[in-house]
Amino acid sequence: MAQLVGVFEDPGKVAEVVGHLRGRGFEDLETYSPAPFAEVDDAVLEKPSRVRIFTLIGGLLGVVAGYAMTIWMANDWQIMLGGKPYSSIPPYTIIAFELTILFGGLLTALGLFIVGRLPRFTRDAAYSARFSAEDFGVAVRCAERDVAEVDGLMRMHGAVEVNLVAG
């Protein structure tokens, strides 16, 4: 197996080349972008990020925890305050609301780590500091006999340069 990395300047071109490469059956590819561009990310991964499931679970956990904690604690040792019922829903809604946000936010961050595969302890061989400047990279793993085709395809779509990655 060989790995080629093409350097691009235009995110639109990156999306095109990714589409073309995948059409030709090169599925083992990765892009590197200096900033978020939906067209690039959607070309590689079609489905919406699963982070949203984490947010939903976090929010639901929060609202349940908020009501459960307040109602249970108020009834564990009942003290009459201001003539109000022990299980007073209106004031406990404030706690439940805040915990919804708290758990939702924390699980969203957890979702970012799990779905986004972070933390990562090594850098890809194809990664370079220029992809945190203003260049885009498309790294493709292919059989050695396909190197010329992938190289030509990337240049056809406006690659500034195409390099073979060592290792």
Interaction residues for other proteins, span 99-158 (CB under 8 A): 99, 101-102, 104-106, 108-109, 111-113, 115-124, 127-135, 144-149
CB atoms within 10 A of CB 117: 8
Nearer to other proteins, 9 or 23 (CB): 9
Note whether 64 binds other proteins by CB under 8 A: no
**Least distance between other proteins and beta carbon 23 (Å):** 17
Nearer to other proteins, 28 or 97 (CB): 97
Nearer to other proteins, 23 or 167 (CB): 167
Among 17, 21, 51, 154, interactor with other proteins by CB under 8 A: 51
Write out the binding residues for other proteins, residues 26-45 only, by CB under 8 A: 30-38, 40-45
* Range list of β-strands (E), the chain: 2-8, 29-32, 136-142, 161-165
Three-state secondary structure call for residue 106: helix
**Residue 7 · residue 135 · CB < 8 Å:** yes
Identify any residues that bridge with 6 across adjacent strands, giving them in sequence order: 138, 162
**Residue 11 · residue 164 · CB < 8 Å:** no
The CA–CA distances, whole Å, from 18 to 8, 54, 112 equal 12, 28, 24
**Least distance between other proteins and beta carbon 48 (Å):** 7
Question: Which tokens sit at 132?
Answer: 């945190």
Note whether 95 binds other proteins by CB under 8 A: yes
Note whether 73 binds other proteins by CB under 8 A: yes
**Least distance between other proteins and beta carbon 76 (Å):** 6
